[in-house]
């Protein structure tokens, strides 16, 4: 029974990582950028929910605002900071992304101080527990898993069945060729950022319901681990991000259950290094060779 | 090509070395005199030491970022390895003599270099962004290790009462010597191979450059000097806590290198000096420091990706040569060409 | 007008190909047998068999997309062949890294120029001199006698090589600032710096005007005579190919459709068909 509840625990954490990892993976697939600011967009989402609910906004509406807020800020970042560097060396783009991440964290800190605040998680998902046989499941857990899986299915359909999805796949395959075929690259990139950050917005709500505290730094470690998940699964691969997310979630729950909670971060990064050593393209990714 | 052929008078090599040596020695004597005479107060001398340490950190990161063209984000991790190693050696060997100081710094540097090699061999097989994330992860692992091994490292409260060996003399000589060694390495066939990898990896490899070897070399040299800087840091503060070596420290160093100009040692030195002195000089600046750093990073990348000095390398001899040829104010040669 | 070929007589070897008569006593510098490579189910190079003599100037021609550069990439181990083997100077190149192959005597230029643009012309050439120096990092760092020796030797040698292509007075400029033709020439000089036994030139005359191309032809011959090396080149300029190549292989859709002397190639109906077919398509 303990084992089962730990498994569900891992499933919950893993599905959050997977949602966030999808955002990394999609953006990487399309512009080969490790979007450092992705985790911080999640943190911004947490503040939006916190402030709107604090101001008496209906929690359901607050969730919607969170998602739209994340989308808005992500698309804005892409426009202002990343687009001018479309043809710049990768290292410049990466440094810019680090800069954006720092900016979000520190502006938030200036505005709201570095203090940790409670997140109104119970206003969004009531803190009830359901008994299933001998198993006690919190409503948060169930909602998290259902919403995550639902979002992933929606994303899958979007990418496989719609015109925009087809365009996204084309751009990630070969940007130049896609452009020649008349695809509006800038629009596809904006939409990719928007979808990735909508998932981040959902992830933000679910993550904060699980760990209901907010400070300007909550996004960075979550973001890093989700990125590790994306790399583990094979960056650029959508199913890979999901598999990687669940793997990291389970690994973390396992390490904690064994009584080494102080080591979880180290274990996650050690997994990353080992994966890159033995399977650099990740579990489901494929290597890309440079054209000579 | 040969400037003597065009009547361009050159300073003999030995004289160049002599001029530089005399100037460096003069600075050392001057600095020491200022400090010991009390003309510089305690707070100011602390700033000077910090600047020296950050200069070495920036210059060493520049080897991996500016010269090799990779983006390691765990520089603070190498610094930590060096700092704790030196601190533990100094704590266990009482006394203050040059042998013990050098031993601590060297051991710190070497252990950091070995760590760099261990992390570099797998990481350098990967492309830029992966390397960034692996080194970032490595930095975090080091921090977790420091926190969770209190028997050795003092854990979260920190390692205390480390002998304060980092006097002005020690910092000055170490930093100058380190910068010189990095400079002389870069102006050699090994340095050229490292630059060639940055410029075009496939062309370098097909020209016979063993790219894996040179990447690991550059990475280890970078880690070595970060370790030495860590040792200086330990001997300067006298107390080490895991918080000294977090991700933000790595980013601070990166900002200096990027701002100064990727690949310019002079740029790294100037940026490290300004960015270390500024927050200490302006207390109110501190509140906005990180916001300004973030904006600087973004703005520099968008508007002037080459940083303040691009790849320019300061060379006194070159300026002197221009002066004796009466061409001091003519258009400078393109960056990165100074030899010897 | 095609120039008068320089070639000696070509003689068959092992029934696999032809090499210049003067090289017949020695094993070929390059011996490629049944080379194949697949890219995701597509066979880009199919059953490629070719011999190149020790001092031969060989040409690899064919319509665009025929797989010529892919052959160069296979020869330098940028790609791993799916089947077949390559003997360079009698040694199997399988599993060797690119820089090890360079040490074994193969050097190349690139179709899309790959210079070290931010380094000086002289330094570009010096990077090519990567073999035969044993002094380590400490020698360099501490300016020990070995460093002075190496720097002097490399400086003198770099200027000698640059002089071959009249680039000496540009030794101090940044490679990226050179005009296009000079960049192509510098790539050849850099390749020569590693003292190859076989030099691969990927479209050396691309973007050059007729008089530059003419000069390049003389230079290629000069290099062969002076360094006693084999040169294999990919080129679309038929005047150049027919003018200086002794043996020519024609590639189409990854397969060799003809091998022979310039004269034989020019009269080969299959070759004419392949080229005319392309022209008609354009």
Q: For residue A100, what is the nearest residue in chain B, using CA coordinates?
A: B294
Residues 159-198 of B with CB under 8 A from C: 181, 184-185, 188-193, 195-196, 198
Cβ–Cβ contact B136 with A under 8 A: yes
Q: How far apart are CA B48 and CA B170, in angstroms?
A: 12
Q: How far apart are CA C213 and CA A277, in angstroms?
A: 48
Q: For residue B202, what is the nearest residue in chain C, using CA coordinates?
A: C114
Q: Does residue A138 sit in the same domain as residue A250?
A: no
State the total domains in chain B: 1
Q: What is the rounded average pLDDT for all residues in chain A?
A: 90
How confident is the model at residue C12, as a pLDDT? 83
Per CB-CB distance under 8 Å, the chain C contacts of B333 are: 172
Q: For residue A28, what is the nearest residue in chain B, using CA coordinates?
A: B129
User: Is B338 contained in some domain?
Assistant: no
Per CB-CB distance under 8 Å, the chain C contacts of B336 are: 118-120, 174
Is residue B8 over pLDDT 80? no
How confident is the model at residue A105, as a pLDDT? 94
Q: Which residue has the tokens 């290094």?
A: A273
For residue range A50-59, list pLDDT tens digits in order.
999 999 999 9
Q: Does residue A27 sit in the same domain as residue A74?
A: yes
Distance from CA of A173 to the nearest CA of C (A): 14
Is residue B73 over pLDDT 80? yes
User: Is A189 contained in some domain?
Assistant: yes
Distance from CA of C139 to the nearest CA of B (A): 9
For residue range B264-311, list pLDDT tens digits in order.
999 999 999 998 888 777 777 778 888 888 898 899 889 888 887 777
Residue numbers of the domain that contains B186 = 3-324
Q: Does residue A119 sit in the same domain as residue A211?
A: yes
Model confidence at A43, pLDDT cuts 50, 70, 90, reads very high
Per CB-CB distance under 8 Å, the chain A contacts of B297 are: 95-96, 98-99, 102
For residue range B165-198, list pLDDT tens digits in order.
999 999 999 999 999 999 999 999 999 999 999 9
User: Is A18 contained in some domain?
Assistant: no
Is-contact C203 C143, C-beta < 8 A? no
User: Is B339 contained in some domain?
Assistant: no
Across the interface, do B336 and C154 touch by the CB < 8 Å criterion?
no
Average pLDDT over residues B43-72: 93
Task: Please return the burial class of C167, using the count of CB atoms within 10 Å of its CB with bins 0-12, 13-18 and 19+.
Answer: buried
User: Is A178 contained in some domain?
Assistant: yes
Spans of chain C, pLDDT less than 50: 1-5, 280-282
Is-contact A12 A249, C-beta < 8 A? yes
* From C78, C119, C147, residue closest to B196, measured CB to CB: C119
Cβ–Cβ contact B5 with C under 8 A: no
Is residue B3 over pLDDT 60? no
How confident is the model at residue C277, as a pLDDT? 67
Q: For chain B, which chains pass the contact test of at least 3 CB pairs under 8 Å?
A: A, C
Q: Which of B129, B140, B200 to mutate against chain A (most A CBs within 10 Å)?
A: B129
How confident is the model at residue B86, as a pLDDT? 97
DSSP letter string over chain C? -PPPP----EEEETTTEEEEGGGTTS--SEEEEEEEEEETTEEEEEEEEEEE-TT-EEEEE-STTSSHHHHHHHHTTSS--SEEEEEETTEE-TT--HHHHHHHTEEE--SS----TTSBHHHHHHHH--SS----HHHHHTT-HHHHHHHHHHHHHHHHHHHHTT-GGGTTSBGGGS-HHHHHHHHHHHHHHT--SEEEEESTTTT--HHHHHHHHHHHHHHHHHHT-EEEEE-S-HHHHHHH-SEEEEEETTEEEEEE-HHHHHH-HHHHHHHHHHHHH-
How confident is the model at residue A92, as a pLDDT? 85
User: Is A14 contained in some domain?
Assistant: no
Per CB-CB distance under 8 Å, the chain C contacts of B205 are: 97-99
Residues 178-197 of C with CB under 8 A from B: 190-191, 193-194
Per CB-CB distance under 8 Å, the chain A contacts of C79 are: 289
Q: Does residue A109 sit in the same domain as residue A94?
A: yes
Q: How far apart are CA B89 and CA B84, in angstroms?
A: 8
For residue range B86-99, list pLDDT tens digits in order.
999 999 998 889 99
Per CB-CB distance under 8 Å, the chain C contacts of A289 are: 79
User: Is B334 contained in some domain?
Assistant: no
ipTM greater than cut 0.85 = yes
How confident is the model at residue B96, as a pLDDT? 85
Percent of chain C at pLDDT > 70 equals 95
Residue numbers of the domain that contains A165 = 23-216
Model confidence at A276, pLDDT cuts 50, 70, 90, reads confident
User: Is A280 contained in some domain?
Assistant: yes
Partners of C30 in beta bridges: C52, C88
Distance from CA of B100 to the nearest CA of C (A): 23
Per CB-CB distance under 8 Å, the chain B contacts of A88 are: 301, 305
Q: Does residue A195 sit in the same domain as residue A247?
A: no
Is residue B4 over pLDDT 90? no
Q: What is the CATH number of the domain that holds B255?
A: 1.10.3470
Q: For residue A102, what is the nearest residue in chain B, using CA coordinates?
A: B294
Per CB-CB distance under 8 Å, the chain B contacts of A76 are: none
Per CB-CB distance under 8 Å, the chain C contacts of B192 are: 119, 123, 126-127
Model confidence at A287, pLDDT cuts 50, 70, 90, reads low
Is-contact B233 B78, C-beta < 8 A? no
Average pLDDT over residues A16-24: 93
Q: Does residue A243 sit in the same domain as residue A142?
A: no
A-B CB pairs within 8 A amount to 118
Q: Does residue A223 sit in the same domain as residue A211?
A: no
Question: Which of A162, A204, A273, A289 minimizes the C-alpha distance to A20?
Answer: A204
User: Is B155 contained in some domain?
Assistant: yes
At A206, list the tokens: 């679910």
- DSSP category for residue A261: G
How confident is the model at residue B11, as a pLDDT? 80
Last residue of a domain, one of A192, A216, A240: A216
Cβ–Cβ contact B52 with A under 8 A: no
Q: Does residue A126 sit in the same domain as residue A88?
A: yes
What is the gyration radius of the CA atoms in chain B, in angstroms?
20
Domains and CATH numbers, chain C: 10-105+196-281 (3.40.50.300), 119-192 (no CATH)
User: Is A3 contained in some domain?
Assistant: no
Q: For residue B190, what is the nearest residue in chain C, using CA coordinates?
A: C137
Q: How far apart are CA C258 and CA C267, in angstroms?
A: 11
* From B119, B287, B302, residue closest to A84, measured CB to CB: B302
Across the interface, do B208 and C131 touch by the CB < 8 Å criterion?
yes
How many C-beta atoms lie closer than 10 Å to residue A139's C-beta? 15
Average pLDDT over residues A37-44: 95
Is residue A16 over pLDDT 90? yes
Q: Does residue A118 sit in the same domain as residue A259?
A: no
Distance from CA of A176 to the nearest CA of B (A): 21
Model confidence at B128, pLDDT cuts 50, 70, 90, reads low
């Amino acid at each position: 029974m303990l084992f089962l509840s730990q498994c569900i625990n891992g499933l919950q954490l893993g599905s959050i990582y997977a949602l966030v990892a999808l955002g990394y993976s999609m953006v990487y697939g399309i512009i080969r950028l490790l979007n450092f600011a992705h985790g911080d967009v999640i943190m911004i989402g947490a503040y939006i929910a916190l402030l709107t609910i604090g101001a008496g906004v209906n929690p359901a509406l607050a969730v919607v605002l969170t998602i739209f807020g994340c989308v808005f800020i992500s698309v804005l970042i892409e426009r202002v900071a990343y687009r001018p560097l479309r043809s710049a060396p990768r290292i410049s783009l990466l440094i810019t992304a680090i800069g954006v991440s720092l900016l979000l964290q520190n502006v938030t800190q200036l505005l709201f101080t570095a203090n940790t605040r409670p997140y109104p998680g119970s206003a969004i998902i009531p803190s009830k527990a359901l008994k299933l046989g001998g198993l006690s499941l919190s409503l948060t857990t169930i909602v998290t898993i259902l919403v995550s899986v639902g979002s992933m299915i929606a994303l899958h359909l979007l990418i496989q069945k719609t015109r925009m999805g087809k365009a996204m796949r084309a751009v990630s395959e070969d940007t130049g060729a896609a452009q020649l075929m008349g695809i509006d690259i800038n629009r596809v990139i904006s939409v990719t950022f928007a979808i990735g950050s909508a998932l981040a917005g959902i992830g933000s709500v679910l993550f904060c319901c699980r760990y209901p505290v907010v400070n300007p730094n909550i996004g960075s470690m979550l973001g890093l681990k989700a990125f590790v998940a994306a790399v583990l699964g094979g960056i650029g691969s959508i199913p890979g991000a999901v598999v990687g997310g669940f793997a990291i979630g389970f690994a973390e729950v396992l390490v904690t259950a064994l009584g080494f909670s102080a080591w979880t971060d180290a274990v996650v990064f050690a997994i990353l290094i080992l994966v890159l050593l033995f399977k650099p393209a990740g579990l489901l990714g494929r290597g890309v060779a440079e054209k000579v | 090509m040969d400037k003597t052929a065009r009547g361009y008078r050159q300073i003999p090599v030995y004289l160049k070395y002599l001029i530089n040596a005399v100037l460096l020695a003069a600075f050392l004597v001057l600095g020491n005199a200022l400090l010991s005479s009390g003309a510089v107060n305690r707070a100011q001398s602390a700033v000077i030491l910090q600047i020296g340490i950050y200069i070495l950190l920036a210059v060493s990161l520049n080897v991996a970022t500016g010269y090799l063209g990779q983006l390691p984000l765990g520089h603070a991790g190498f610094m930590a390895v060096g700092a704790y190693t030196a601190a533990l050696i100094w704590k266990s060997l009482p006394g203050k003599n040059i042998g013990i100081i050098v031993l601590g710094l060297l051991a710190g540097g070497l252990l950091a270099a070995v760590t760099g090699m261990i992390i570099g061999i797998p990481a350098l097989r990967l492309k830029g962004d992966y390397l960034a994330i692996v080194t970032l992860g490595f930095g975090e692992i080091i921090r977790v290790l420091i926190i969770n091994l209190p028997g050795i490292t003092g854990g979260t409260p920190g390692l205390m009462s480390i002998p304060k060996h980092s006097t002005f003399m020690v910092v000055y000589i170490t930093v100058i010597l380190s910068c010189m060694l990095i400079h002389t390495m870069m102006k050699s066939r090994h340095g050229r191979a490292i630059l060639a990898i940055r410029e075009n990896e496939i062309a370098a490899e097909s020209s016979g450059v063993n790219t894996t070897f040179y990447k690991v070399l550059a990475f280890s040299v970078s880690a070595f000097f970060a370790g030495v800087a860590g040792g200086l840091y330990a001997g300067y503060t006298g107390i080490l806590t895991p918080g000294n070596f977090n991700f933000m420290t790595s980013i601070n160093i990166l900002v200096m290198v990027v701002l100064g100009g990727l690949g310019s040692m002079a740029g790294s030195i100037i940026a490290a000096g300004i960015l270390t002195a500024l927050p200490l000089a302006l207390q109110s600046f501190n509140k906005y420091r990180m916001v300004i750093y973030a904006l600087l990073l973004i703005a520099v990348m968008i508007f002037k990706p080459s940083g303040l000095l691009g790849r320019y390398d300061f060379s006194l001899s070159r300026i002197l040569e221009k002066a004796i040829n009466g061409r001091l104010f003519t258009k400078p040669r393109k960056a990165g060409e100074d030899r010897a | 007008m095609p120039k008068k070929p320089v070639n000696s007589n070509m003689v068959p070897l092992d029934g696999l190909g032809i090499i210049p008569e003067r090289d017949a006593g020695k094993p070929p510098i390059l011996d490629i047998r049944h080379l194949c490579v697949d890219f995701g189910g597509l066979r880009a190079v199919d059953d490629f068999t070719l011999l190149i003599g020790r001092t031969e100037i060989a040409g690899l021609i064919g319509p665009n997309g025929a797989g010529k550069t892919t052959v160069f990439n296979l020869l330098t181990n940028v790609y791993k062949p799916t089947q077949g083997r390559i003997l360079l100077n009698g040694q199997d190149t399988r599993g060797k890294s690119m820089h090890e192959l360079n040490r074994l005597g193969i050097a190349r230029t690139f179709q899309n120029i790959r210079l070290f643009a931010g380094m000086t012309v002289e330094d570009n050439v010096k990077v090519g001199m990567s073999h035969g120096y044993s002094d380590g990092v400490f020698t360099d760092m501490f300016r020990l006698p070995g460093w002075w020796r190496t720097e002097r030797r490399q400086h003198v040698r770099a200027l000698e090589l640059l002089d071959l292509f009249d680039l000496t007075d540009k030794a101090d400029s940044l490679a990226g600032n050179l005009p296009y033709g000079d960049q192509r020439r510098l790539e050849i000089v850099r390749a020569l710096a590693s003292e190859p036994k076989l030099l691969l030139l990927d479209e050396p005359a691309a973007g050059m005007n007729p008089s530059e191309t003419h000069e390049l032809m003389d230079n290629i011959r000069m290099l062969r005579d002076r360094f006693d090396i084999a040169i294999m080149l990919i080129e679309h300029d038929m005047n150049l190919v027919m003018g200086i190549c002794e043996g020519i292989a024609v590639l189409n859709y990854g397969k060799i459709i003809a091998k022979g002397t310039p004269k034989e190639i020019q009269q080969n109906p299959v070759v004419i068909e392949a080229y005319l077919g392309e022209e008609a398509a354009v």
